[in-house]
Structure 1
Amino acid sequence: MTAAIRSILTPSAIVRLILGWGAFAALLFAGPLLAPPVAGPLLVSALIVIVGVILICAFGVVHEAEHLARLLGDPYGSLVLTLSIVLIEVVLIAAVLLGPGDHATIARDSVMAVSMIILNAVIGLCLLVAGLRHGSLAHNRTGVSTYLSLIIVLAALAFALPALIGANGSYEEWQEVPIIVLTIGIYAFFLYRQMGAQAADFHEVDPRLPQIPAEVGTGDSVPPKLSIREIISTHRIEIIVRLALLVATVTPIVLLSHDMASLLDDGLGRLGAPVALSGVVIALIVFLPETITSIRAAWQGEIQRVSNLCHGAQVSTVGLTIPTVLLIGLLTDQPIVLAESPANLLLLAVTLLLSVTTFAAKKVTAIHGAAHLVVFAIFGITLFS
């Protein structure tokens, strides 16, 4: 093992891996003991242990994500963390759909919860933190506008259109193929442009932050700044090892959060809480590493990185989840219910309108963040209605 790899695979990193995967293995073996109804003390103890392990692993993910972000620069660094979490989440949703039972609404409920958390709770908290610490902050309006344009289109395809042209909240079979093709097509085109000709649209523009030279990516690198190809060529081993470690650390977070779903349902059911609350809590836990990374970026005044992480995660979640579940529905002849309730559609519309008005301004402030947090609080109220 080289010195470079040893500097990455530190004792702390190895301990996190052992804790994360060990806890997941323990849950598998303890399955019969944790089958509902679980004794109160055992239920609380299990949840505390799981959440504790998730927190420890989350900070490990953040550590690797920040190293990759500094090494690769944005949007590439943010994209690595976003895609790692979202891809694992999509695979798990697909696994649930392919398993026994009726899960027609799992994609709708999961993506809606993620949307409210990312677009209101996380972004609201980040803008509030950044605004209180740094005052008003400039963002790259072209990049944010690109994200929001895709979010609006994909959200309409996912949650609103099925209620208008489909049947019982689902698309007709003949409608699903063009929706899959269009969703995958626009998402693939977005990634192609974001990682290529439009990469500069996702760089920081606030004058108080260090700026990336315009020459980067044109073939005339300005030391110590290098083009993405030169960075990958120069640091290939480090990037591969850190990426592998990030994925290996984030996977148990997602697996544990889904394994604890039945425990959480059991506990919340005893408290008389709504079933939908469990989905929101699980979504919060799944995206915990991205939330921590976003808040740290906001603390440092990197508001464009906040957008890259949050808006990028939202685009990836809808752009990958919807075509995946629709394709599974076609292949397995399962109904996939996507149409949302009128209350959630109203909140989603308010969220999208608020996002557009927030980031249409030259600078964002703490008041913008407070407005987003209010919308998330209202979403919380609707869960109990």
Structure 2
Amino acid sequence: MPGMHHLYSSESINIMIVRLRELAAHWTTVVPLFAVLLLVSTWGRSVPGAVVVLLTVVLAAAVLAAVHHAEVVAHRVGEPFGSLVLAVAVTVIEVALIVALMADGGAKSATLARDTVFAAVMITCNGIVGLTLLVGALRHRVAVFNPEGTGAALATVATLATLSLALPTFTTSKPGPEFSTAQLVFAAVASVVLYGLFVATQTVRHRDYFLPMTRKGEVIDADQHAEAPSARIALISLLLLACALVGVVGLAKGVSPTIESGVEAAGMPHSVVGVIIALLVLLPETIAALRAARRDRVQTSLNLALGSAMASIGLTIPAVALASIWLSGPLVLGLGAVHLVLLALTIGVSILTVVPGRATPLQGGVHLVLFAAYLELAITP
């Protein structure tokens, strides 16, 4: 009997090990679902420090799962649709988070939309662009991309950012860096129209402008070398991508009180909280863009970066314009002098980066220095 008990215990352990291995092999399926369950169980509750650590670990795992499923969907639909899926999916959930925080935040949420959108612009246009250009150029000597498509994306981002974040600082119809109702409606409509025109250009009329290029300037299909996943697998990945992104954004909100406490204890401005949350939310795009750059698909990386910046502005401004109907308190959109300088410098440097259609590590370094300057000035304004 003791021998049988020992055998039974060994078999049980072996079965458990096999099941754990199977679970590890399918972690990209398990993690998004677990993240949503964890989010539901902790939403709106005060959680202890140990649970915050668990939320952070699951959040990081959900980010990696989101990148995996985004790449599956992108492989199925091809570029530039794949980049668009991830950018829009993340931004839609991010906008929902912003509106929810504005509804609960009271007076201190007046600048939340501005801070979040500007953080997204700086992270994408300097952080992600700088990293991908640096990685692509170091790995392949020169990072090659299509200046026509990238230039069109940059022009749209620059226009949206200026209309939504710069102009409110100088308008006089309403005191403070705020839009009047008519001006806010115009900014919202302009954002939707420009974003719609860009998506039509990117996916229909001039799709080839946004495809990766060879060293000789020839347009190629980034996924033509491998068999695309089936429609069923792509649909499952799309659903799991949505779950993962809901988990990422929701768990980021869950850990935000701890982040706020740490920021206040360190004596840093409250706007740093928005920067940290934006960094967490944009991790899927960052990882996906770096992977594309390592494969010499810098155009895909730039599609992700500029597409995310554009979606962040083009969807956030109309959403907060609608939300302002029932939300009380001011809606501050205008940037301060320091951030206006950073925005102008970012647009100018980005133009010089995009025009040649190729970049060396220097261009990547310049964008990363601008991003570092933004972080430094956010911490010590």
TM-score class normalised by the smaller sequence? 0.7 to 0.9
Q: Encode CA deviations 1:193-212: one digit per residue, 9 max, x unaligned.
A: 22211111100112389953
From 112, 118, 132, the counterpart of 1:106: 112
2:223 is aligned with 1:242: no
Residue matched to 1:189: 197
Residue matched to 1:83: 88
**C-alpha displacement at 1:235, in angstroms?**
4.4
2:362 is aligned with 1:367: yes
**C-alpha displacement at 1:245, in angstroms?**
1.2
Return the alpha-carbon distance in structure 1 between the equivalents of residues 198 and 266 of structure 2: 44
Letter in 2 for 1:15: V
SS of 1:127's equivalent in the other structure is helix
Return the alpha-carbon distance in structure 2 between the equivalents of residues 76 and 18 of structure 1: 25
Whether the 8 Å CA contact 2:213–2:220 is kept in 1: the answer is no
Residue matched to 1:307: 302
Which aligned pairs between 1:234-313 and structure 2 lie closer than 5 A? 235-313=230-308
State percent identity of aligned pairs: 30
Letter in 2 for 1:245: L
**C-alpha displacement at 1:331, in angstroms?**
4.7
Relative to structure 1, is the Cα distance of residues 60 and 101 closer, same or farther in structure 2, using a 3 angstrom cutoff?
Answer: same
Residue matched to 2:179: 171
Return the alpha-carbon distance in structure 2 between the equivalents of residues 235 and 345 of structure 1: 47
Residue matched to 2:43: 28
Letter in 2 for 1:153: T
Return the alpha-carbon distance in structure 1 between the equivalents of residues 187 and 319 of structure 2: 11
Letter in 1 for 2:127: A
Residue matched to 2:6: none
Return the alpha-carbon distance in structure 1 between the equivalents of residues 330 and 266 of structure 2: 32
Letter in 1 for 2:357: K
**C-alpha displacement at 1:320, in angstroms?**
0.6
Whether the 8 Å CA contact 1:108–1:340 is kept in 2: the answer is yes
2:34 is aligned with 1:19: yes
**Which of structures 1 and 2 has the bigger CA Rg?**
2
From 117, 130, 135, the counterpart of 1:129: 135
Q: Tell me the TM-score normalised to structure 1 length.
A: 0.85
**C-alpha displacement at 1:23, in angstroms?**
2.8
Return the alpha-carbon distance in structure 1 between the equivalents of residues 36 and 142 of structure 2: 42
Return the alpha-carbon distance in structure 2 between the equivalents of residues 315 and 147 of structure 1: 8
Return the alpha-carbon distance in structure 2 between the equivalents of residues 224 and 285 of structure 1: 32
2:101 is aligned with 1:118: no
Letter in 2 for 1:160: A
Greater Cα shift, 373-382 or 15-24: 15-24
Q: Which runs of 5+ in 1 are unaligned?
A: 1-6, 35-41, 214-222
**C-alpha displacement at 1:352, in angstroms?**
1.0
Relative to structure 1, is the Cα distance of residues 11 and 138 closer, same or farther in structure 2, using a 3 angstrom cutoff?
Answer: closer
Q: Tell me the TM-score normalised to structure 2 length.
A: 0.86
**C-alpha displacement at 1:272, in angstroms?**
2.6
Whether the 8 Å CA contact 2:184–2:321 is kept in 1: the answer is yes
SS of 2:204's equivalent in the other structure is coil
Q: Encode CA deviations 1:339-361: one digit per residue, 9 max, x unaligned.
A: 00100110111111111111111
Whether the 8 Å CA contact 2:150–2:354 is kept in 1: the answer is yes
Q: Which runs of 5+ in 2 are unaligned?
A: 1-21
Relative to structure 1, is the Cα distance of residues 56 and 319 closer, same or farther in structure 2, using a 3 angstrom cutoff?
Answer: same
Letter in 2 for 1:289: P
Relative to structure 1, is the Cα distance of residues 363 and 101 closer, same or farther in structure 2, using a 3 angstrom cutoff?
Answer: same
**C-alpha displacement at 1:268, in angstroms?**
2.3
**C-alpha displacement at 1:100, in angstroms?**
5.6
**Matched length:** 354
Residue matched to 1:155: 161
Return the alpha-carbon distance in structure 2 between the equivalents of residues 150 and 121 of structure 1: 19
Return the alpha-carbon distance in structure 2 between the equivalents of residues 64 and 145 of structure 1: 28
Residue matched to 1:327: 322
Return the alpha-carbon distance in structure 1 between the equivalents of residues 254 and 39 of structure 2: 8
Whether the 8 Å CA contact 1:137–1:206 is kept in 2: the answer is no
Runs of 4+ in 1 over 6 A off after TM superposition: 223-226
**C-alpha displacement at 1:239, in angstroms?**
2.9
Whether the 8 Å CA contact 1:69–1:77 is kept in 2: the answer is yes
Q: Encode CA deviations 1:90-146: one digit per residue, 9 max, x unaligned.
A: 111122233462221110010111111111112111111111111112211111011
Whether the 8 Å CA contact 2:133–2:143 is kept in 1: the answer is no
Return the alpha-carbon distance in structure 1 between the equivalents of residues 283 and 130 of structure 2: 15
